[in-house]
Structure formats: structure tokens, C-alpha cells
Amino acid sequence: MTDSQQLWNDYAACWSAGPGERIAALGAVAVDEVAYRDPGTEVSGLPGLAAYMAGFAEAFPGHRFRIDEVLDHHDRSLARWTQVGEQGETAMAGVSTALHRDGRLADITGFFLPA
């Protein structure tokens, strides 16, 4: 497994982490001033992203993200992912891109793929 694949796997786990562990887990994979955007939001900083992730966990209990593929070069990466429901069913698929800084994610953009 590449470093970028591991980084994305660890980042994906933050979305379903418990409230008490989310911010610490996120701090291990993203810079303090991380920027995040997807079609529905734009947030910045670890606390902002952690709060957005908490809202996801509340809206989709038992769901998690599976990283299916990672491509990377020049401190940038693209991750193809699947949102998986409680019974293992596919809820959504998408891709996310990120700029890396100091071995962590610094600027993340998520795209949702049509069903």
C-alpha cells in the first residue's frame, strides 16, 4: 500500500470515527488549516471539518467510506471512494482530490458521481 493510499484510508476512517477520537484522528492526516469543499459545503480548519464530519455521521449512522483507488503525483492525489451503508450496500460514489503538505492533506475537494 502506498503512503497516499494509507493517508486516504486513515482520512476516510475519520468520517465514521467517534466524536471523542475524530479531531485527533483528523489532525494526524490533515494540516491544522485544512480546506475542504464538496458540492454542499466549504469549511476550513480541523474543527470546521470535524464538525462537518460529525453532521455526516449523524445523518448517515453506520455508514463509512471505502477508498477504492488512489492516484498521486507532485504532492497531489485523487481518491476514488464509495460510501457504504450499514449492510454493506453502496450509498454513493465519488472522487476527491487533495493537495498534500508535510505528508498530510491540506486542500480537499470532493465530487459526488451520478447514480
Which pLDDT score, from 0 to 100, does residue 90 have? 95
Burial class of residue 37, CB neighbours in 10 A (0-12, 13-18, 19+) = middle
Question: Is the CB of residue 96 less than 8 Å from the CB of residue 111?
Answer: yes
Which pLDDT score, from 0 to 100, does residue 114 have? 86
* 19-29 and 46-59 helices, crossing angle to 10°: 130
Q: Report domain extents, the chain.
A: 3-112
Residues 6+ apart with CB under 8 A from 111: 38, 39, 94, 95, 96, 97
In whole angstroms, what is the distance from residue 74 CA to residue 87 CA? Answer: 37
pLDDT in tens, 29-43: 999 999 999 999 999
Q: Which CATH number applies to 3-112? A: 3.10.450.50
pTM exceeds 0.75: yes
Block residue for cell numbers 488549516: 33
